[in-house]
A = this chain, B = another copy of it.
Amino acid sequence: MRAHDETLMTHASTVLVETVPALRDRRSQVARHYRDVRSLTEALATPLSAEDQTVQSMPDASPTKWHRAHTTWFFETFVLVPYARGYRLFDEAFGFIFNSYYESIGPRHPRPSRGVLSRPGVEAVAAYRAYVDTAMEGLLDSADRDVVDLIVTGLHHEQQHQELLLTDIKHAFSSSPMFPRYAPEPVAPTVAMATPPEQWTVNGGIYEVGHRSGSDLEFSFDNERPAHPSLLRDFAISDRPVSNAEFVAFIEDEGYQRPELWLSEGWTTANAAHWEAPAYWYRDGRDWRVYTLHGLRSLRLDEPVCHVSFFEAAAYARWAGRRLPTEFEWEVVARQFGKPELGPKDVRAHPRPLRGGMRQDVWEWTASAYAPYPGYSAEPGALGEYNGKFMINQMVLRGRSCATPSGHERVTYRNFFPPQARWQFSGFRLADDR
């Protein structure tokens, strides 16, 4: 084994000295954060009619109004009920309807049937949000540090649902022969892509990965902790995700017809679902049209390929003679090369054309199964159900997507989905051993 990279090990062993902000400052900071996040959710729902907000197009997706109410229910259930003296529930039935997967909180409405619930309607949901917001503002004036931390968790939870709100309505709209437009398309200049991408090479060694606890300056989910050393080999990784142009070459080389490129379960899945391209692609003679939240339009070759499953990413990698990076390879590179891009405040409805860098506009499938870190322990109580209980049959995605609210992403962030999922803004980049 060769010597590991000294620079990075320094990073791993540095003790961060940080000034813990006074509780008062923290409260007002979080109160601002609370207002920002809550109003972004409402802004994202604004283009959607009452009918739009009601439909559910598949079991994995949820109606917009459910997202709006479920994120509110989170604050009511985990913050207001235990900590706000004299708080009265907005409506007792909501606990049943808007609970998602917290088995220990009681029975819940079955996920595939969320689209059957017409009541409460969007107006009642708006009233629910306003009622809870008022109570939360009152509570934030006097909350202690633990409660403030809990609220921050609730805000990150809501940011996750902001992204799902967009991917879910995209799926629903794509089921309509009217191909509704969620938002007008912004103008984006065409990008001239270097072909092939540049390769970054990384020396093997022991690197720290995961999120350092001890700092309350940055939030993290329990599945990112504890930070721990990881042993990597020498490897190389592309400086950008795979593009639509590159993926079209895979399709034209009959990538979807060659079983030797695919994982066995991927092949079965692709055939059963008649996949012949990424989700939302439609053949138009020899060209492709794509449904986006800006409507149906021609495929842009300079965008990152998106809405592919892990199975498709793995088949492409085998076709290209390379492999997907592990989540730790991704993280180490992102720490070294991946200056966090300071994006605009709001989310985008579609990925921009590719530039180089680690944090592009698509989530990136990695070769890593979603598993607990060494020493992982779930948070106690119902919140502990949040991440750990899904640690099976899911693959980790790293990075962010166009629909990820700014401030939500982190270099240690672990997104995860089953290998067949395609409705997220999911792409991938390639790596190989050196």
Contact = CB atoms under 8 A, between A and B. Distances in A.
A52 to B, nearest CB: 4
B267 A172 contact: no
Count class of interface residues, chain A: 35 or more
Interface in A223-277: 228-231, 233, 259-260, 262-267
A389 to B, nearest CB: 4
A254 to B, nearest CB: 14
A433 to B, nearest CB: 6
Contacts of A419: 392-393
A391 interface: yes
Interface in A378-434: 385, 389-393, 395, 419, 433
Contact of A54 (B48, B51, B175, B177): B51
B231 A231 contact: yes
Given A233-B374, A369-B371, A375-B433, A115 B260 contact: no
Given A55-B54, A172-B118, A231-B229, A93 B178 contact: yes
B103 A259 contact: yes
B50 A51 contact: yes
A104 B260 contact: yes
A265 B1 CA distance: 39
Interface string A38-70: 000000000011111111110000000100000
Contacts of A393: 265, 393, 419
Contacts of A120: 178
A113 interface: yes
Contacts of A104: 259-260
Identical chains bound together, number: 4
A50 B54 CA distance: 9
Given A230-B231, A260-B104, A267-B103, A116 B175 contact: yes
A176 B119 contact: yes
A103 B261 CA distance: 10
Contact of A118 (B1, B117, B176): B176
24 contacts: A1-B206, A50-B50, A51-B51, A51-B53, A51-B65, A51-B118, A52-B119, A52-B121, A53-B118, A93-B178, A97-B176, A104-B259, A115-B115, A116-B175, A119-B173, A119-B180, A120-B178, A262-B389, A263-B391, A264-B385, A264-B389, A266-B392, A311-B392, A369-B369
Given A233-B375, A262-B389, 7 more contacts: A48-B118, A49-B118, A49-B119, A50-B121, A55-B116, A116-B172, A265-B390
